[in-house]
Amino acid sequence: MATAEIDTGERRRRIQARQLVRWDTPLEAADAVVGLHATDAATVFLSLAARLREPSVGLVEQALYDDVTLVRLLSMRRTLFVVPVDVAPVVDSSTARDIAAKERKKLLEFLREGGGWDAAWLAGAEKSTLAALERLGAATGQQLGAAVPALQERVTVGVGKPYEAVQTVASRVLRVLAAENRIRRDRPRGSWTSSAYRWVPATPLPLLPVEEARAELVRRWLAAYGPGTEDDLKWWTGWTLGAVRKALAGVGAEQVALTEGHDASGGPGGSVEGWVLPGDAKPTPAPEPRAALLPALDPTAMGWRERGWYTDPDHAAQLFDRTGNIGPTVWWDGRVVGGWAQDPDGAVVWRLLEDVGREAEAAVTTEADRMGAFLAGTTVTPRFRTPLERELSAGTRG
């Protein structure tokens, strides 16, 4: 049987039909993209605001901190993600546990070299920290440091280097406990944009067989992002190529040819090998074109390693930082057509990088007003800033 072909137009239709959809709950919206990038605290809220029929900060906070239907995990690519609670065991068993083990190893090296402490000392410090957290109920890192003397120990890093500094061990110990899902981030001190989280005890996640969990994660990724290449999946998961291939085989993924916008090296022209779930190579009915304002590091914008089919390479220098992190983007008809930010007065401003017509401009204006209503006077500065975002936020409209 001939290999099915999927062109750029079909892939963009899938973005609209599967990812840029309006949902009633944060859980539904997060599930549609597998998980939300959470390195920047505001990204979770802004990604959901773009996908909820009636977005509100309170609705997102309820899902994160009251109902706990969304769970934060240090997972794919050693990045912090927020995932649906039923997906958390899959992400944990397939990815997060390996990362947590590496984080623990690095912490032990840090403690041994900086203070001469060993695994027994760390185990004691962790036991005291967990006991203090049970006693306090919820606590910031600073409060836990005050309650647990071991967390106040100091280590000098970068000795003799220009960046030499003295650090307490608290943040690193808490990071490992969180990576192992023994504690979790709760409502922050301050507004929803703050990363000054309080910590609370976490509910243990069931351990799944690794290969089973990896196959399930790939199944979910293909359902949301497919078609994709092995390279896309390797990059998104942070796994080895062998693990990716085994997981693709585990879900019976079907091979397709990705045409238009690709060659053997990911450039224009030709085709490359891609993968979809069984029976998912059929064309997608064309949805009505729609606009979206997505935040920096949004999961759709960061969903594939090769981005030339939905982001014009000529615009990359304005939309990405030097390490490949994408800034706030304007979308139309399943592709990136510009960027947005907040000006010095906090108003949502945007710039199109190509001519998309009056209908698109009117739709973007509506979306900008909608995002402005959600922000309601709160100003968000992305953690990883890009050239276009800096220009717009400075009031340079071009």
pLDDT value at residue 268: 52
Record the tokens describing residue 99, joined without a space: 């990362």
Task: Report pLDDT digits (tens) over 201-224.
Answer: 999 999 999 999 999 999 999 999
pLDDT over 60 (residue 264): no
Split at pLDDT 50, 70, 90, the class of 156 is confident
Distance CA(33)–CA(43), nearest Å, equals: 14
Region 102-131 average pLDDT:
94
Strand partners, 276: 254
Say what angle helices 119-136 and 170-179 make with each other, to 10 degrees: 80
Q: Taking the model in full, what pTM does it have?
A: 0.93
> DSSP letters of 244-311?
HHHHHHHTTPEEEEEESS--TTS-SSSEEEEEE-TT--SPPPPPPP-EEEE-TT-TTTTS-S--TTTB
Cis peptide before 328 (omega within 30 of 0): no
Among the CATH numbers 3.30.310, 3.40.30, 1.10.10, 1.20.950, which is that of 88-201? Answer: 1.10.10
Distance CA(378)–CA(229), nearest Å, equals: 39
Mean pLDDT of the chain: 94
DSSP state of 65: I
Q: Among 120-124, 256-260, 290-294, whose mean pLDDT is lowest?
A: 256-260
pLDDT value at residue 257: 97
Distance of CA 101 to the CA centre of its chain: 21
Q: Own/partner pairs for 350-358, CB < 8 Å, 24+ apart?
A: 350/293, 350/392, 351/388, 351/391, 351/392, 351/397, 351/398, 353/312, 353/315, 353/318, 354/312, 354/315, 356/332
